[in-house]
Amino acid sequence: MCNALKLHTVEFFAMDMKYTNVCIEAFAYCLPEEIISTESLERRCAPLYERLNLPEGRLEALTGIKERRVWTLGKTPGQQSILTVQKLMQQTGFDSNKVGALIHGSVCRDYLEPATACSVHHALGFPPSGFVYDISNACLGIVSGMIQIADMIELGHIEAGIVVGTESSRSLMETTIQHLNTDLSLTRKSVKSAFASLTIGSGSAAVLLTHKNVSQTGNRLLGGAVYAETKFCGLCRSDTDQSGGDAMSPLMETDSETLMKEGVSAAVRCFERFLLATGWNRSDIDKTFCHQVGRAHQKLLFESLNLSMDLNYSTLEYLGNTGSAALPTAAAMGFESGFVPDGSRVALLGIGSGINVVMLGLERQKKVCTERHGL
């Protein structure tokens, strides 16, 4: 009986993540200026392509990614995160003295310790009485941080909080190209696990969440659901635990086909719980923002969820997979462009290696000042 009760309790909370006091005030994003085309990456992999007789254009044809961006050499994740939060604060005009939590949620960070959030917090001059720390959850780090801040607000611990993250792909890209061109043991089959690393791009995103009493937009975070299939934790992994500066030399192995299949399968299970938590039907969803991986993944995801891809704002074609920054960057760009009309119900659909799934529901209020507040 005790075991049954325990399982029931876990299932209940996974399905019933609801908020009554939390608003998503704004998303903000920053992009690097340097653009790297997929075509140029393939040219740099010429030794591999020639040795294995691989057709040019293969990477873009498989992923739908035409280009991605990289930060200026030497820029740390923390330095860029400071700029992204500054942009967020400028576009909202929010009182920095009310920020009770700052979470840094990207895979990339400045050091193993201290938390990158500490240097960002110090540079921004936020109140010393707040929560300041890093979290890591692969491509769901920023979204996971949103849940933690929402929980703090709902519990009355803070009035507002910010989660920010900056992903830097340059070192992964350079190390992968060198590996592909110099490891003569690679075959047409074994090389597949490295190609996903060439889809990664750089980006930075931040999110401000507030209590409804101090919100100037009233855009409510209703709640959502989480789901994990951790038996597939080995499908995508980096070889070492390192900080995110230029000195790191990471390699990543990804079973892309299995990860796509099992990730979407987990998303289907999570989506049913998400609908229960929000009280929505599929037809209630007006717009979506999802993690940006590749064209095939996006197509399979929306077919499996029985949703139209027309609802979704896609950035993968020109940004690639920007890790934890991908979903909030898409949301920021979508709101900025007018993609989301007033009164829309928006689904945030996050899937990350692990496998972890996080889905959140947002109700955009009517008659909001998008010019000032960014939503």
Is the omega angle on the peptide bond into residue 77 within 30 degrees of 0, that is, cis?
Answer: no
Helix 295-304 to helix 256-278 angle (10° resolution) is 40
**Would you give the distance in Å from CA 57 to the centre of its chain?**
27
Cα within 13 Å of Cα(120), Cβ side: 33
The span from the CA of 112 to the CA of 89, in Å, is: 27
Give me the catalytic one of 34, 39, 113, 303: 113
Could you tell me whether strands 203-211 and 131-134 are parallel, antiparallel, or unpaired per DSSP bridges? unpaired
- The dihedral over CA atoms of 343, 140, 197, 326, expressed in degrees to the nearest 10, equals 20
The amino acid occupying position 254 is T
Known active-site residue 139:
yes
Could you tell me whether strands 99-104 and 22-30 are parallel, antiparallel, or unpaired per DSSP bridges? unpaired
Known active-site residue 113:
yes
Give me the catalytic one of 23, 30, 45, 139: 139
The span from the CA of 47 to the CA of 225, in Å, is: 46
Helix 256-278 to helix 2-15 angle (10° resolution) is 90
Could you tell me whether strands 356-363 and 220-228 are parallel, antiparallel, or unpaired per DSSP bridges? antiparallel
Question: Which residues participate in catalysis according to the annotation?
Answer: 113, 139
